[in-house]
Amino acid sequence: MAKAGNPGRIRASVLRPLVELLDRKSCNTDTLLAQHGLRRAELADPYSAVPLDSFVEFFEMAAVRLKDLALGLRLGEKIHAADLGPIGVLFSVAPDLLTAFTRFSEYLGALQSKTQVGLSQTDGMPSWLYRIEDSSIWPRVQDAEFSLSAACRLVRSLSGENWRPIEVHFEHNEPRDRTLHDKIFRTVLRFRQPANRLFFSAEELKRPLRSFDPGLMDILQRHINELISKPLSEETLIDSVKRLIALKMGIEKVTVTSLCRELGVSQRTLQRRLEASGTSLRQLLREYRKDLAELTISGRRIPQSDVAQMLGYSDSTAFWRAFKSWNDQSPSAYRKAKSGG
């Protein structure tokens, strides 16, 4: 069920393919929807939004009910640009993949809120990141695998069936059977990572696409702007800073200077507005690191050195000290307490 406060939202129409599959399998879909506070009538309304946590939980439950732990991968592999509405079609008529992913990431707010998404670079290699901000929404395997599988399918619809990413990262554990993962992505797969990512070469992102349609792009952008005028949740400066922290953490140093450059504001303006909101960059960095560290330590057995690196610490000792200051106990003691050991 939806959590208190300001929970993430997602367009109800995104549920449609999953609901249709459950219907075909005679899974008493309406009862399953009701168990998660969802209604079939919401799926037909293009502006209807449902709690993001309810959507993710429903997706996980559907995989169990259908006895298909690769459900997200299979649905993503079958996606068409039009299935995502005007945002998907906008992706398909972009002049190049760089523009396609940039526009898609910018306009994702018309589909889904409280989600970190965007292009970034590490060592000259671009990647597209997807990660739900709320660390309490877990597990979320199906949503993550659906999103990356769908992104891969959209790229192949433009660049050809032989296209494959340079590398793929998932934030969850490696499954016992990854046959379908290997078949779909055809590349290096890494699990238990800080975020879900597709990695590309810089050259292919800028390669011109034959499907480019500037007239249709203009029409779609105007339509999507109308969708965004009815926002799922208005992104504040704090939200923007948090999104950038998630994109940059562990890849490059997060500083006031780098954030101001991305946000197009002066350092004085950023610091003043953060202070007026009762926070600071240091506090936001601390909160993000604490949340991600606790999720990682309690849910997945990753070496402390890897956790330290993904959170931007210089070494394991620095991470150990920070974690102990947050919880009055070491990472190993925290993990033991969470596991009931």
Same domain, 145 and 255: no
In a domain, 216, yes or no: no
Q: Rounded distance, CA 133 to CA 140, Å?
A: 12
DSSP H or E stretch at residue 127:
strand 125-132
Report the alpha-carbon distance of residue 19 to residue 32 in Å, rounded: 10
Q: Are residues 31 and 131 located together in one domain of the fold?
A: yes
Split into its structural domains, the chain has a count of: 2
Flag whether 211 is in a domain.
no
Nearest to 260, CA basis, from 251, 250, 272: 272
Query: Helix, strand, coil shares of the chain as percentages rounded to 5?
Result: 55, 10, 35
Does residue 247 lie in a domain region?
yes
- Which residue matches tokens 């050991």? 341
Q: Which of 156, 181, 206 is the last residue of a domain?
A: 206
Q: Give the CATH number for residue 123.
A: 3.90.1520.10
User: Contact, 163 vs 140, CB < 8 A?
Assistant: no
Which pLDDT tens digit goes with each residue over 220-241?
787 677 666 555 554 578 877 8
d(CA 54, CA 32): 11
20 and 93 share one domain: yes
| Contact between 8 and 132 (Cβ < 8 Å) | yes
Q: What is the pTM of this model?
A: 0.73
**Residue 152 is encoded by which pair of tokens?**
């891969």
Does residue 224 form part of some domain? no
Residue 229 falls within a domain, yes or no?
A: no
Q: Do 245 and 321 share a structural domain?
A: yes
Residues 245 and 196 in one domain: no
Residues 202 and 252 grouped into a single domain: no
Residue with tokens 């055809």: 186
Say what the pLDDT of residue 3 is. 46
Q: Are 243 and 202 found together in one domain?
A: no
Domain ends where: 191, 206, 221? 206
Residue 212, CB half-sphere, CA atoms under 13 Å: how many?
A: 11
d(CA 23, CA 298): 36
Q: What is the pLDDT of residue 170?
A: 97
**Domain stop point among 187, 206, 225:** 206
Q: Are residues 202 and 292 in the same domain?
A: no
Query: In 3-state terms, what secondary structure has residue 60?
Result: helix
Identify the CATH number of the domain in which residue 304 sits: 1.10.10.60
- pLDDT of 1 reads 38
* Shared domain check, 312 and 201: no
Query: Would residue 218 count as lying in a domain?
Result: no
Quote the CA–CA distance of 258 and 255 in Å, as a whole number.
5
Burial annotation 135-150 (CB, 10 A radius, 16+ → b, else e)? bebbebbbbbbbbbbb
Do 90 and 187 have their domain in common?
Answer: yes
| pLDDT mean for each 10 residues of the chain (341 residues) | 61 86 92 90 74 95 95 94 80 93 84 88 85 92 97 95 96 95 98 94 93 80 66 65 75 82 86 90 88 71 72 82 89 80 58
What range defines the domain where residue 182 resides? Answer: 9-206
Same domain, 193 and 295: no
Q: Is 340 exposed, middle or buried (0-12, 13-18, 19+ CB in 10 A)?
A: exposed
What confidence score (pLDDT) does residue 4 get? Answer: 44
For residue 224, which amino acid is it?
Answer: I
Let me know whether 60 and 201 are in one domain. Answer: yes
Q: Which two tokens stand for residue 79?
A: 């996606």
- The tokens for 202 are 């810089």
Contact predicate 119/127, CB 8 Å: yes
